[in-house]
Structure 1
Amino acid sequence: MDVSKEIYYAGGCFWGVEEYFSRVPGVLDTISGYANSDIKDPSYEEVCSGTTGAAEAVRVVYDPAVVTLGILTRLFFKIIDPVSINRQGNDRGSQYRTGIYYTDGKDRAQIRPIIAAVQKDHEKPLAVEFMALKSFYPAEDYHQDYLRVHPGGYCHIDFSSLNSLDVRTDKTVGIRKDIRELQGTLTKEQYEVTQNAATERPFSGQYWATREPGIYVDVVTGEPLFLSDDKYDSGCGWPSFTRPVHPGAITEHHDTSHGMTRVEIRSREGGSHLGHVFPDGPLEKGGLRYCINSASLRFIPLSQMEAEGYGAYCPMIISSL
Structure 2
Amino acid sequence: MKKLLSILTISLVFSCHNQAQTNPKQQAAIDAEPVVVPLIDGKARAYFASGCFWCVEAVFESVKGVEESISGYAGGHTENPTYEASNTGRTGHAEAVEIIYDPEVVSFATLVDVYFGSQDPTQVNGQGPDHGSQYRSIIFYQNDEQKKIIEDKKATLAKELDATIAAEVYPFQKFWVGEDYHQNYERLHPDQGYIRNVSIPRLNKFKAKFPELLKDSGKH
Settle same-fold status: TM greater than 0.5.
yes
1:107 equivalent to 2:146? Answer: yes
Instruction: Tell me by how many angstroms 1:25 deviates.
Output: 1.0
Match of residue 69 from structure 2: 30
Paired amino acid for 1:38: H
SS in 2 for 1:120: helix
Q: Which residue of 1 aligns with 2:182?
A: 143
Taking structure 1 as reference, are residues 66 and 89 closer, same or farther at Cα in structure 2, changes over 3 Å only? same
The residue number in structure 2 matching 1:255 is none
SS at match of 1:99: strand
1:7 corresponding residue in structure 2: 46
Deviations 1:144-167 (A, max 9, x none): 000111012324324233244324
* Residue in 2 that maps onto 1:272: none
In structure 2, the residue matched to 1:160 is 205
Partners of 1:78 and 1:13 in 2: CA distance: 16
The 8 Å contact of residues 19 and 145 in structure 1, kept in 2 or not, is answered as yes
Residue 54 (structure 1) aligned to one of 93, 102, 119: 93
- 1:129-278 matches, cutoff 5 A: 129-153=168-192, 154-155=194-195, 156=198, 157-163=202-208, 164-167=210-213
CA distance in 1, matches of 2:206, 2:54: 17
Rounded to whole Å, the distance in 2 between the matches of 1:167 and 1:129 is 25
Letter in 2 for 1:75: V
- Structure 1 runs of 4+ off > 3 angstroms? none
Amino acid in the other structure paired with 2:88: S
Indicate the structure whose relative CO is greater, using CA pairs within 8 Å and at least 6 residues apart: 2
- Of all paired residues, the percent bearing the same amino acid is 38
- Distance in structure 1 (CA, Å) of the matches to 2:166 and 2:190: 30
| Structure 1 contact 6–103 (Cα < 8 Å) conserved | no
User: Does the Cα contact within 8 Å between 2:57 and 2:97 map onto a contact in 1?
Assistant: yes
Question: Runs of 5+ in structure 2 lacking a partner?
Answer: 1-39, 215-220
Question: Residue 139 of structure 2 aligns to which amino acid in structure 1?
Answer: I
CA distance in 1, matches of 2:153, 2:52: 23
- Structure having the higher strand fraction is 1
| Cα distance in 2 for residues equivalent to 1:109 and 1:123 | 20
Q: Distance in 1 between matches of 2:44 and 2:207?
A: 21
In 2, Cα distance between equivalents of 1:51 and 1:158: 29
Matched residue of 2:186: which SS? helix
Q: Which residue of 1 aligns with 2:127?
A: 88
Structure-2-length-normalised TM-score: 0.71
SS in 2 for 1:121: helix
Q: Specify whether residues 103 and 152 from structure 1 end up closer, same or farther in structure 2 by C-alpha distance, changes over 3 A only.
A: farther
Provide the C-alpha distance between the structure 2 equivalents of 1:57 and 1:72, rounded to a whole number of angstroms: 14
Q: Distance in 2 between matches of 1:14 and 1:122?
A: 25
Work out the CA distance in 1 between the residues paired with 2:111 and 2:211: 11
2-side partners of 1:104 and 1:3: how far apart?
A: 18
CA distance in 1, matches of 2:206, 2:187: 19
Cross-structure match for 1:65: 104
Match of 1:79 among 94, 114, 118: 118
How far residue 104 of structure 1 moved from its aligned partner, in angstroms, is: 3.8
Indicate conservation of the 8 Å contact 1:86/1:98, yes or no: yes
**Aligned match of 1:120:** 159
Return the letter of the residue paired with 1:87: G
Structure 1 residues 167 and 146, CA gap change in structure 2 (3 angstroms): closer
**Deviates most, 74-83 or 19-28:** 74-83
- State the shift of 1:91 in Å: 0.6
Q: Give distance in 2, aligned partners of 1:6 and 1:82.
A: 22
Once residues 159 and 41 of structure 1 are traced to their aligned partners in structure 2, the CA distance between those partners, rounded to angstroms, is 33
